Amino acid sequence: MELLLTKRFSIPDAFRIDVYKETGGYQSLKKALQMRPEEIIEEVKKANLRGRGGAGFPAGVKWGFLPKERKTPVYLCINADEGEPGTFKDRYIMLKDPHLLIEGIVISSYAIGANKAFVYVRGEFVDCIEVLGRAIDEAYREGILGERVLGSNFSLDVIIHRGAGAYICGEETALIESLEGKTGKPRLKPPFPAQKGLYQCPTIVNNVETIACVPYIVEKGGEWFANLGTEKNGGTKLYAVSGHVKRPGVYELPMGTVLRQIIYEHAGGIINDLKLKAVIPGGSSSPVLTADEIDVKMDFDSLARIGSMLGSGAVIVISEAACMVRTLYILARFYAHESCGQCTPCRHGTSWMKKIIERIENGRGRREDLDILLDVCDNIKGKTICPLGDAAVMPVESFIKKFRDEFEEHIELKGCRFSLERQGVLNV
């Protein structure tokens, strides 16, 4: 398979503009500037490029939502917040191939008619901010950014905005609020950002990986890109594999690669040759899969059909040695901490879920706690402004549904079988 997003990762100093150009960089931009903006949007639609940040919404369709008649500026915002537990792909693009991202930003901005683009980077990504900032400076010096890009009539400024570490700012309207200098809390929709976004102007928000695909779509065409993946799921995908595998890391593979293949062929299988217990296929908010469900294609539609989701493509592998109660508690604690507090169901519900799971984890659980947890989930699901409420619920529901016996055992033993085994108290 031809690598796209990661092809320069092994090239020394690929973050420098001269190295990027020597390896074919910015040729797609030159081609794009000879095209009409609507032609680029049409190619992105043909490519079946779906948002790589989690939602999987078709990028070209989103761009098409912008108003045709415009009396205000249009903005492009790049979501580089990457706060989903298990996700670590976008930072590699920013660190190892920042000019690919910049080229994608310039082409995308030209296509949608934006003269300002903002890259919203997670504040902890100090190295990414430094490397990307240097690359942007290089692009200005080379005439790729600024007035009259490469001698054309198109001008573009790119600004890095450093986030403050709130997970909620990965939601596009919360990101926009934060960019405006406000507390990062999601907005009610409609209106959607494409109509009223940053400073109440039409705005497109795309993920780093999504935008990094655009130069290849312009270079080789939308149909070529679409054929790399599965139906309605075009291109390659960066799968960030972590957990109990021998070779954790970021793997670029065709969209729709089978999960079993990702775990055992690319990531080397389970550490210490243990048995696989479960997989979280798309970041912490995606419903968990059992070991019997890993012969699924890793694309948006295939995972949705079996009740999970691709999300950001962050694959968290869990071996037989792990406690599912402890694992769920770690996730529930995260969502309780990251709730912005705007919606009562999420604010109180995530806190209650954390408390109940913590009680079970600490050996003080009751049998009725599991049904109470599911009731709390029902009171959160679909009742919040943004998807964080549902994101917090999906792991809880799926863990209890698929591993209920382990939770019940935890309650009966008044503690964790795995820790009791290690202490020699329980022989199972």
Instruction: Note the pLDDT of residue 425.
Output: 35
Architecture, CATH, for domain 236-319 = Roll (3.10)
Q: Which residue bears the tokens 């249009």?
A: 74
pLDDT tens readout for residues 206-234: 999 999 999 999 999 999 999 999 999 99
Region of 48 on the Ramachandran plot (φ > 0 left; ψ -120 to 50 alpha; else beta) = left
User: Could you tell me the pTM of the whole model?
Assistant: 0.94
| Fold matches, 236-319 and 324-422 | no
Neighbours of 162 (CB within 10 A): 14
Output the pLDDT for position 115: 98
* pLDDT number for residue 427: 37
pLDDT at 165: 82
Per-residue confidence (pLDDT) for residue 421, from 0 to 100: 53
> Domain-by-domain residue ranges, the chain?
17-226, 236-319, 324-422
Q: Which residues of the chain have pLDDT under 50?
A: 423-428
pLDDT of residue 8: 97
Choices 3.30.70.2660, 3.40.50.460, 3.20.20.80, 3.40.50.11540: CATH for 17-226 = 3.40.50.11540
In degrees, rounded to 5, the angle at the alpha carbon of residue 129 between the alpha carbons of residues 204 and 132 is 75
For residues 410 and 416, the answer to whether their CB atoms sit within 8 Å is yes
What is the residue-wise DSSP string for 340-360? Answer: -S-SHHHHHHHHHHHHHHHHH
Question: Per residue in 40-73, pLDDT tens?
Answer: 999 999 999 999 988 899 999 999 999 998 889 9
Fold of 324-422: de novo design (two linked rop proteins) (1.20.1440)
Q: Which residues contact 62 (CB under 8 A, 6 or more apart)?
A: 51, 194, 204, 206
